[in-house]
Chain A
Amino acid sequence: MMNAAIQTNFARLQIVKQKVLAALRKGENYELKTELNSEYKERRKEAVRRVIANMTVGKDVSGLFTDVLKNMHTDDLEIKKLIYLYLINYAKTQPDLVILAVNTFVKDAEDTNPLIRALAIRTMGCLHVQEVLDHLTDPLRKCLKDPSPYVRKTAVMCVAKVYNLSPAVAEENGFVEDVRKALSDANPMVISNAVTVLTEINEIAPGQNVWRLDKSSVPVLLVAINECVEWGQIAILEALADYTPQGEKEAESICERLLPRLQHANGSVVLTTVRLLLKYEKYVHRADLLSQFTKKMVPPLITLLSSEPEIQYVALRNINIILQRHPKMLSKEIRVFFCKYNDPIYVKYEKLDVLVRICSERNTEPLLNELKEYAREVDVDFVHRAIQAIGRLAIRYESSAEKAVKLLIELLQLKVNNVVQDVVVVLRDVFRRYPQRFADVVPTLCEHIDFVNEPDAKAALIWILGEYSEHISNISSLMGASLESFLEEEDEGVQLALVNSAVKFFLKNPKQGQALVLKALQTATEKCANPDVRDRAYIYWRLLSADPNAARSVALVEMPPVELESASLSPALLEELITELGSVASVLQKPARLFVYKKADKAGVPRDTDMESAAGAESGDSNVGVSGGGIDTSNEGEPELLISF
């Protein structure tokens, strides 16, 4: 009874609440409505401002459509722009009412002031309403031939808007043809906007062959690029990058003409130029030219590292890709990648990655010192990566192993929890690469056994104990202590390592190890819940009881050394990313089709599902050796040491 009463009351309250809210909302819009119809100009102006302010914060002001429209016919440019903004936002929801505004637009498009003409044509295109299209065609046609270049460049851009809405209308009215003609306009901005529009149309309708750069149009663009604003230069560079030059001579001359772009202050102009040069490498065969290109690319790329952190980040991600094509390119410049203390963390990660990648045997020493500094910083993840990097260098260059191990032991002695865990894991890998070479540091390592508490690190340490048992004086008590906590230890990696190491210790030193191995195997087989651990223990037990020599050849075998190379991209993906330097794909280091869906797929579903099937197909026919999909599987199965993203 009670409950029912409460529920009805609650329901009533809800209704009241909604009513109040609705009234409130209506209240403000009602007030605005009155204001918009005020006889005073200033009050109407203020009301329009408030409408836009409400729109910005996400309130629904679409109900005021007709009232706002009433104010559209005004000489006040500010009000006009605000109302246009309103229209752009709500046109789609009220297509029938938009028609009411069309007259003003058409009139504005014939204004004497080019700014107003351009504004009208720009806004009309943005409305994105089919009904407006018919009214747009005439003014657009006029504006495309306007004497003012400002209006022309706006009109050219408007063609892209029309094409997006209806390719048929754009074609029928000859707008696409007009844009093609605009490529030979006298004004550089009109040209670059035309290039932009044609590129976009090509993307929308790839089969139509609306526009292709050819030998005759390339020189025009090469001239125009010198006069364009930076954004126009990017558009032209991108178009040229997608062009296939006719023969070597042309490729050479294009590259030479564009080399100066590397000196541009805008980082994306630089990156796009680099992308073009790298892409053209396959067309140019003269070795001297190629090496000149590479030489010219290096300084601007490094200069990008002194720009804003976000641009640095994009540059570093791209340098990482470029280095996989030209590994030697930056080997002299290693010091510029040293991290500053205040670099944002994402910049530090990338720098670290590049450092390890470009390090040669000659400069391991300074880099190792540097890495040790990083290993003492605060960010746990960065420290982890720095320590991994030390290990990687030790494994790659034998000459540096000594120094690296010394550094690692120094770090260990700092007794910082996360550092200790990481160092132990890395030391295990180094020891595997150089068996028995660093036996003398094992006792020092054992002094820090109490600080080792992460499962990975524990497993690594126990492996080291088993491998180097003869160098450790108190080995029985250490192993015994670990065995005590065998069952409390839930991680199967640690348990397996314990079983293995106990067996190894016994095989090397039967007298001391007998009790230990018995205890280990007993606990593992009788009390352990994990079937893998139990199975492993049973196998060892039988081996030991049947044929100790066989056991020896199984347990005491030397393990293959760990390979710890930087995660590299598959050749196909690398090829793809090189052609898309500077783009989102290059930043994510994933092929574009994984996060972009084409307009052609009307379904409008991101092709994530496709991606999965593609990846599946790839691993399926990996024996063919062609990795069609983008996901890099070459490193699967290896410990992933650097999570590069």
Chain B
Amino acid sequence: MLSAVFIYNQKGEVLISRLYRHDVKRSVADVFRVHVISSPTSVVRSPVTTLGSTSFYHIRYDNLWLCAVTKNNASAAMVFEFLYRLLGLGVSYFGRFDEESVKNNFVLIYELLDEVLDFGYPQNIEVDTLKLYVTTESVRSTRALQSDALATIPQSITMQATGTTAWRRNDIVYKKNEAFVDVIESVNLIMSAKGTVLRADVQGQIVMRSFLSGMPECKFGLNDKLVLDRDPASGAAASASASASASGSTQLGRRQGGMGGFGDGESVEIADCQFHQCVRLGRFDTDRTISFIPPDGEFELMRYRTTENVNLPFKVLPVVREMGKTRIEYEVLIKSNFSAKLSATNMAVTIPTPPNATKCRIKVTGAGAGKAKYHPEENAIVWRISRFQGLQELALTAVVDLAPMTKPTPWSRPPIALDFQVLMFTASGLLVRFLKVFEKSNYQSVKWVRYMTKAGSYEIRI
């Protein structure tokens, strides 16, 4: 259990201090400041600092330090999960979570802290539920009027805050029942200078926005290899039924053109997945069915990871030659490796340069090759390409002049990093096969699915 939670600003001034147990005094806030925040070594060597019998856990966000204190052998993993949840709560409540918003909303933050932890044990940190009864000023007044009129409202709130479906109210009504599914993949890569893939994996996230009435029972299907392999008949039947009802409104619509990246018949080997707490884990464990009653609005339904057969959207062939001590020559060739119908947007290629670089002559070739600029403050050439078509090749050549150094130290050659997003493409090949919604009132619902792949940490060594 946590004994205290503190929020500091950059300088180490306490913005929020909440003690939960009597085994610590407020002065421990100073201990953390002295030992960690204003410690002369600028690099934090561990997020957990134990001094005597007191352990401090911290995370940093924007210009804030969030710190939890324990006196017992608490679960460090839980404390960090909690701190991140607290952070998410702040972001969700105030839009931004920084010194200013903490100072402006300190009353509300204290209310939240009182609610999410009791005697140092985490209680309920579901944003949606908390927003029902810990509200910001403007909402508060209208809510207060309501609760005067209807004394029963707090009753239902507290039922929800502790109930088995703590994440959902049971009285939601929508005129049009819709559900949006976004499959968002981050592809991570470490490639050696010679072009060997050292490590490639995909972190996927399925975000759902549900606008469904009542208490809908949802069933969700992916082209999961384990499901399709075990029971090919049911897989085929399911896809057949899906296509049979293509004209009906229950069909999974696609908001944008066809799936260009992959064939529909393939299955994906999912190495691991994690679910939102609404998903019945027992069901998934026995027959890999993803069934749940969704929270209202946006939430992360699941996270998954694949490591096999990753479709790398870009191939980078870098040649970096150090010509003596005064010049470096770059030739970077990038090839897109997805259907020509698709395109990547917001692409940025960061090509590191040595700290003593003085001048860069850069040339980019290819249709729509974008612009490349030398950013001395980042020690890098940043090449921005607004649209990168599928099956295309772009190249950059650059000559970088170096200033002579009094004490020559070799350049550590940090990797080239790519940033991009490709719509309607999944690096893992994952597809949503169906989303079924069952509700007592048996309404029709419309479902949409979108796919996007973006760069996680996409590094090519040089």
Contact = CB atoms under 8 A, between A and B. Distances in A.
A203 B161 CA distance: 28
A165 to B, nearest CB: 9
A115 B81 contact: no
Contacts of B457: 340-342
A114 interface: yes
A584 interface: yes
A485 B45 CA distance: 38
Interface stretch (A183-191, A436-444, A488-496): A183-191
A336 B272 CA distance: 14
Nearest to A78: B107
Interface stretch (A35-43, A366-374, A541-549, A567-575): A366-374
Contacts of B164: 188, 227
Contacts of A64: none
Interface in B137-170: 140, 147, 151, 154-155, 157-159, 161-164, 166
Interface string B77-96: 11011111000000000000
Contact of A595 (B17, B46, B53, B81): B53
Interface string B29-63: 10000000000000111111010110101010000
A416 interface: yes
Nearest to A157: B118
Contacts of A309: 47
A148 B75 contact: no
B275 interface: yes
Contact of A193 (B18, B121, B147, B412): B121
A115 B158 contact: yes
A248 to B, nearest CB: 21
Interface string B95-116: 0000000000011001100100
A586 interface: yes
Query: Which of B1, B22, B201 has the most chain A CB atoms inside 10 A of its CB?
Result: B22
Contacts of A203: 72
Interface stretch (A120-128, A206-214, A627-635): A120-128
Contacts of A115: 133, 154, 157-158
Contacts of B45: 345-346
Given A226-B282, A302-B271, A311-B81, A369 B192 contact: yes
Contacts of A226: 280-282
B70 interface: yes
Interface string A147-165: 0111101100100110010
Contacts of B73: 580, 583-585, 592, 595-596
Nearest to B29: A58
A299 interface: yes
Nearest to B414: A341
Contacts, number: 267
Nearest to B148: A75
Interface stretch (B8-16, B212-220, B395-403): B8-16
A57 B414 CA distance: 43
Contact of A268 (B75, B188, B190, B302): B75
Contacts of A125: 119
A53 B121 contact: no
B126 interface: yes
B118 A259 contact: no
Contact of B77 (A200, A315, A345, A645): A315
Contact of B47 (A259, A303, A313, A592): A313
A392 interface: no
A132 B199 CA distance: 61
Contact of A229 (B46, B126, B300, B303): B126
A379 B43 CA distance: 10
B80 A308 contact: yes
A187 B166 CA distance: 11
Interface string A317-354: 01000000000000000011010111011100000000
Nearest to A224: B164
B237 interface: no
Query: How extensive is the interface on chain A, given as a class?
Result: 35 or more
A299 B272 contact: yes
A306 interface: yes
A582 B188 CA distance: 26
B441 interface: no
Contact of B123 (A231, A265, A313): A231
Contacts of A366: 198
Contact of B190 (A314, A340, A608): A340
Contacts of A585: 73
B57 to A, nearest CB: 7
Given A268-B77, A373-B461, A113 B151 contact: yes
Contacts of B192: 369
Interface in B428-462: 457, 459, 461
A56 B16 contact: yes
Interface in B274-288: 274-277, 280-282, 284-285
A262 B433 CA distance: 24
Interface in A255-291: 257, 259-261, 263-268, 270-272
Nearest to A203: B72
Contacts of A234: 75, 78
A265 B303 contact: yes
A588 B369 CA distance: 51
B173 interface: no
Interface string A591-605: 010011100000000
A81 B111 contact: yes
Contacts of B151: 112-113
B59 A260 contact: no
B409 interface: yes
Given A125-B119, A302-B272, 14 more contacts: A57-B13, A113-B154, A115-B158, A229-B126, A231-B121, A263-B274, A265-B302, A302-B305, A336-B201, A341-B415, A414-B410, A584-B73, A584-B74, A608-B52
6 contacts: A149-B158, A259-B285, A300-B272, A342-B457, A377-B412, A596-B72
Interface of A: 49, 52-53, 56-58, 78, 81-82, 84-85, 88-89, 92, 112-115, 118-119, 122, 125-126, 128, 148-151, 153-154, 157, 160-161, 164, 187-190, 193, 196, 200, 203, 226-227, 229-231, 234-235, 238, 257, 259-261, 263-268, 270-272, 299-300, 302-303, 306, 308-311, 313-315, 318, 335-336, 338, 340-342, 344-346, 366, 369-370, 373, 376-379, 414-416, 580, 582-588, 592, 595-597, 606, 608, 645
